[in-house]
Structure 1
Amino acid sequence: MKNVTDSFISLSSAEGFGLNTNILETNIINLSVVLGVLIYFGKGVLSNLLDNRKQKISSTIQSSEELCKGAANQLEQARARLREVERRVREIRVNGYSQIQQEKNDLINVASINLKQLENLKNETIHLEQERVIELVQKQISYQAVQRALGTLNSRLNSELHLRTIEHNIDLLLAMKNITD
């Protein structure tokens, strides 16, 4: 490159600063020919290289955009699934709490019913036991009263009194028979 610059501009101390106008010395023709050949033959190669590079860049950008769109779609799907899962979790929590509360209320109601049934059964048992005891006491009192009465009758009843009682009862029966006829 230095030769090219030196060939156009001459900086000698004797001549001073100047421009070399000799075409053959400056190699302008040689440079023009080389540049022309390079442009003519290299244009297709360079154009192909640039087109290939452009296509690679374009396909890379396009595939990157497709990957980005795919990732965005996957992200949106993941967000939608997350929203659905969060909704289901809230629903399960609400249903779980309400179901627990319902089961708690059901257990309380069943326990209350069982308690009432046990209370009623206890009261019935107490009542039946009281009636049984009262009946037993009445039987014992009746038995004792009959025993006392028999003891009193046996001690006071003699054969004459016994005959009078029998006759009196016969008279009562006859009187009742006459009334019914």
Structure 2
Amino acid sequence: MDLSNQALNGFSAHLAVSFNPDIFESNIINISLLLGGILYLGSSALSESLSERQEKIIGAIQEAEERLQQADTRLAEGEKQLEQAQLVIESIKTDAETTARKVKSEILTDGKAEIERLTSSAKAQIGTIEARVRKQISEYVVTLALKRVTLQLEGKLDSNLQQQILDRNISNLGE
């Protein structure tokens, strides 16, 4: 043992820590008892601390999972509401387009009817005015013709010619 002690001491001298193989002198028993007591007493406190820490971690994980489930539920509800809102928007768009087409069609139909009514009214007024103008022209022509004939006949008309004109007009009336 001498040789091993010297080798260890020589090696330890360089390290500044030496190994003393004498159990009583190095207090290995006392240190082992002290270390065993610390481990025995400290292990329960350490295990309690670790258990508490584990419970806290498990609780935090469960809480996080619950929040995740709630978030997933809210997300699903939000997506469902979004889909419903999009359906409502599409329905409103479709209704608006249909209503716009109907209104446009009604306006065009009403406009056409109004144009036709105004056109027929204008044609009727034009026809009335034309008839009145023709009548006035006809009356004017007849009046002029009568004046002319009267002027011509005043100088040439005798009783025999008057009788012939009357007979011819009476025979024309009978036909």
Q: TM-score range by the shorter chain?
A: 0.5 to 0.7
Distance in 2 (alpha carbons) for counterparts of 1:90 and 1:23? 92
Indicate the residue corresponding to 1:106 in structure 2: 106
Report the equivalent of 1:117: 117
Residue 145 of structure 1: aligned partner: 145
Q: Identify unmatched segments of 5+ residues in structure 2.
A: 8-20, 164-175
Deviates more, 1:89-98 or 1:75-84: 89-98
Letter of the 1:68 counterpart:
L
> Structure 2 counterpart of 1:121, which letter?
S
Q: Work out whether 1:75 is the aligned partner of 2:75.
A: yes
Structure 1 or 2: larger strand share?
A: 1
Superposition pairs of residues 1-181 of structure 1, within 5 angstroms: 11-12=4-5, 24=24, 29-152=29-152, 154-155=154-155
Change (3 A) 1:59 1:11: farther
CA displacement at 1:79 relative to structure 2: 0.9
Counterpart AA for 1:69: Q
Name the Cα RMSD after superposition.
3.4
Shift of 1:157: 6.3
Paired position in structure 2 for 1:170? none
Aligned-pair identity in percent equals 24
C-alpha distance in 2, partners of 1:116/1:26?
A: 128
Q: Aligned partner of 2:60: which letter?
A: T
TM-score by length of 1: 0.64
Q: Which has the higher contact order (CA 8 A, sep 6+)?
A: 1
CA distance in 2, matches of 1:116, 1:13: 133
- Partners of 2:32 and 2:126 lie apart in 1 by 133
Distance 1:71 1:25 in 2: 67
CA gap of 1:44–1:108, structure 2 versus 1, over 3 A, is same
Shift of 1:72: 0.8
In structure 1, what is the Cα distance between the partners aligned to 2:157 and 2:97?
87
Mean CA deviation greater in 126-135 or 98-107: 98-107
For residue 61 of structure 1, report the CA deviation from its aligned partner. Answer: 0.5
Residue identity opposite 1:116 in structure 2: E
TM-score by length of 2: 0.66
Measure, in 1, the Cα distance between the counterparts of 2:26 and 2:99. 101
The one-letter amino acid of 1:117's match is: R
For residue 31 of structure 1, report the CA deviation from its aligned partner.
4.6
- Alignment correspondent of 1:168: none
Shift of the alpha carbon at 1:64?
0.6
